[in-house]
Amino acid sequence: MKKKVLLLAALLLVGLGKTWAQMDDCAITLSLFVEPAKAKNYDAALPHYDKVVAECPKYSLATYQYGEKMFKHFIEKGDKAKIDNYIQNFNLRMEYYPSRTKQGNVMAKIAQLKFDNSMGSKMDQFNAFDEAYKKDAASFNSPKSLYTYFSLAVDLFNEGQKDIQEVFDLYDVVINKIESEESSLAKNVTTLSEKEDGGTALSSKEKKRLKASETNLKAYGKVKGSVNGKLGNIADCENLIPLYEKEFPNKKDNINWLRSAAGRLNAKDCETPLFFELVQQLHTLEPSAKSAFYLGRLADRNGDASTALEYYNQAAELETNPSDKAKVYYSIAENMRKKGSYGKARSYYNKALAEKPSMGVCYLKIAQMYSKSANNCGSNVFEKRAVNWLAAQMADKAARVDASIAGNARAAASSYRQRAPSKTDIFSESMAGQTVTFSCWIGSSVKVPNL
């Protein structure tokens, strides 16, 4: 019995010895690849890569992290022969480290590489992006790849390989994804910039996060504009109206089709009796936030503000999608603003921003209301003009969270500051560093700049 136990122990020690030896070998092999790769000496690292993936593919995630950087370097230097290696490196990472790999992100990188290098047909390239998005939409967040994904769909439609409805459906998917990413980034920008504006110094980590969020916001803003530009004439009223007029008799009981058609016509502000028919039919079959919102838009167009407000409030109560809810609140705010109810309008603009922090136009509208109220706020000329500093602050916020209107917002902020008290005014009134409080509907205060 003792002999059997001793024999088993000996076998275990031999096995462990082999495992330890293998681990030591893998550590050495990996080091020969990783150390020069860390120093970006990829020519020295390359000869050791194949041995690592052949003998120790599961040893370290670093193999694939540095492998990606290495092959990307060679490709950017013009060595197209390394494209297959680059793709294989990603595939091995997904195989051996699936739980530590954002598959949508990685698959989108592969798809983008194939597109950039004209690998396969347009349909093959589109399918690669489509598979990546459907596999892991959460990590498919490259602005460039989102645009390429949609752009290919439009190209395939123009070549007769895709139906127009497929293009419209993908447009909704891509725009919703972009706006979701924008809202998350804008929330970071708003929180951190308000902290900084309030006099609290940001940590180095927070500064990097703020800068990255602002940079990515600009990227998404540009891509959103490019996506809308790519859709172009396909979704113009002159094409949509005859298309939907033709299909309406056969699809008037199809709720999904009605919802999509009404949304498209509403987005383009198409003036057609068909829109009223679609909306009425949709509201009859399925009363919803969307149908109530569209009926509100129709009432607005007809000049019936009170009826429009009833429908908008109904839509706000029913809506669950944050981006769409923000649009409803924005419409209510616009309704209030046009009636001169600035306090209520601001309340709804803020509700819209709570749902969609990247909706910079709300800040811009608040800024406009502040500036227009200058003569009604403050007890003297200095205080009345000081309102424009508040307006400028709102315009600055618009520029920071919404790249699509940043240029106009910055121009507006500059204009408001020109209307505010000058340095001479501040000096003559001895107001430098003082706080001006407004007791009108604005109900806020602003600190006068120091000279």
The verdict on 129 and 18 lying in the same domain is yes
Token pair in block for residue 414: 């500059």
pLDDT by residue (tens digit) across 218-255? 999 999 999 999 998 888 898 899 989 999 999 999 99
Rounded Cα distance, 115 and 126, in Å? 9
Let me know if residue 294 belongs to a domain.
yes
pLDDT value at position 84?
Answer: 95
Whether the predicted pLDDT of 17 surpasses 80? no
The verdict on 337 and 415 lying in the same domain is yes
391-416 mean pLDDT:
95
Boundary-marking domain end, from 187, 213, 246: 187
Q: What b/e readout covers 12-40, taking b as 16+ CB neighbours within 10 angstroms?
A: eeeeeeeeeeeeeebeebbebbbebbeee
Let me know if residue 205 belongs to a domain.
no
Look at residues 341, 359, 274, 277 and name the one whose alpha carbon lies nearest to residue 305: 341
pLDDT value at position 12?
Answer: 40
- The confidence band for 20, taking pLDDT boundaries of 50, 70 and 90, is very low
pLDDT value at position 219?
Answer: 95
CATH number at residue 146: 1.25.40.10
Look at residues 185, 199, 113 and name the one whose alpha carbon lies nearest to residue 148: 113
Instruction: Tell me which of 75-84, 102-111, 295-304 is least confident.
Output: 295-304
Look at residues 299, 295, 356, 369 and name the one whose alpha carbon lies nearest to residue 329: 356
- The confidence band for 256, taking pLDDT boundaries of 50, 70 and 90, is confident
Let me know if residue 193 belongs to a domain.
no
**Which residues are 445's β-sheet partners?**
437
16-29 mean pLDDT:
64
Boundary-marking domain end, from 161, 187, 213: 187
96-121 mean pLDDT:
96
The verdict on 181 and 240 lying in the same domain is no
Let me know if residue 229 belongs to a domain.
no
Let me know if residue 141 belongs to a domain.
yes
20-38 mean pLDDT:
83
- The confidence band for 130, taking pLDDT boundaries of 50, 70 and 90, is very high
The verdict on 157 and 240 lying in the same domain is no
Q: Provide CB contacts within 8 A for 6, sequence distance 6+.
A: none
- The confidence band for 269, taking pLDDT boundaries of 50, 70 and 90, is confident
Whether the predicted pLDDT of 119 surpasses 90? yes
Q: Name the average pLDDT for the chain.
A: 91
The pairing of beta strand 435-437 with beta strand 445-447? antiparallel
CA distances from 379 to 374, 424, 442, 445, 447 (A): 11, 19, 14, 13, 16
H helix runs in 252-341, sequence order: 255-267, 273-285, 289-301, 305-318, 322-338
The angle subtended at Cα 232 by Cα 228 and Cα 234, nearest 5°, is 120
Domain that holds residue 44: 2-187
Look at residues 416, 435, 419 and name the one whose alpha carbon lies nearest to residue 367: 416
Rounded Cα distance, 65 and 73, in Å? 13
pLDDT value at position 235?
Answer: 87
The verdict on 116 and 182 lying in the same domain is yes
Whether the predicted pLDDT of 53 surpasses 60? yes
Rounded Cα distance, 345 and 337, in Å? 5
pLDDT value at position 11?
Answer: 39
The verdict on 292 and 427 lying in the same domain is yes
The verdict on 179 and 252 lying in the same domain is no
Q: What is the DSSP string of 122-142?
A: HHHHHHHHHHHHHH-GGG---
Let me know if residue 389 belongs to a domain.
yes
Q: What is the pTM of this model?
A: 0.80
pLDDT by residue (tens digit) across 325-358? 999 999 999 999 999 999 999 999 999 999 999 9
Boundary-marking domain end, from 187, 218, 247: 187
Let me know if residue 210 belongs to a domain.
no
Let me know if residue 288 belongs to a domain.
yes
- The confidence band for 10, taking pLDDT boundaries of 50, 70 and 90, is very low
Q: Provide CB contacts within 8 A for 84, sequence distance 6+.
A: none
The verdict on 114 and 6 lying in the same domain is yes
The verdict on 324 and 263 lying in the same domain is yes
The verdict on 21 and 91 lying in the same domain is yes
Rounded Cα distance, 225 and 267, in Å? 15
The verdict on 165 and 284 lying in the same domain is no
pLDDT by residue (tens digit) across 133-183? 999 999 999 999 999 999 999 999 999 999 888 999 899 999 999 999 999
CB-based contacts of 378-387 (< 8 A; 24+ apart in sequence): 378/436, 378/438, 378/440, 382/421, 382/425, 382/429, 382/431, 382/436, 383/436, 383/438, 385/419, 385/420, 385/421, 385/425, 386/420, 386/421, 386/436, 386/446, 386/448, 387/438, 387/442, 387/446
Instruction: Tell me which of 6-20, 43-57, 169-183, 231-245 is least confident.
Output: 6-20
Instruction: Tell me which of 13-27, 124-138, 358-372 is least confident.
Output: 13-27
For the chain, what is the domain count? 2
Whether the predicted pLDDT of 320 surpasses 50? yes
The verdict on 168 and 271 lying in the same domain is no
CA distances from 87 to 13, 41, 97, 106, 220 (A): 40, 21, 15, 9, 26
pLDDT by residue (tens digit) across 358-394? 999 999 999 999 999 999 998 899 999 999 999 999 9
Percentage of the chain surpassing pLDDT 90?
A: 81
CB atoms within 10 A of CB 317: 11
Whether the predicted pLDDT of 13 surpasses 60? no
Whether the predicted pLDDT of 18 surpasses 70? no
CA distances from 139 to 105, 107, 108, 167, 250 (A): 5, 10, 9, 22, 39
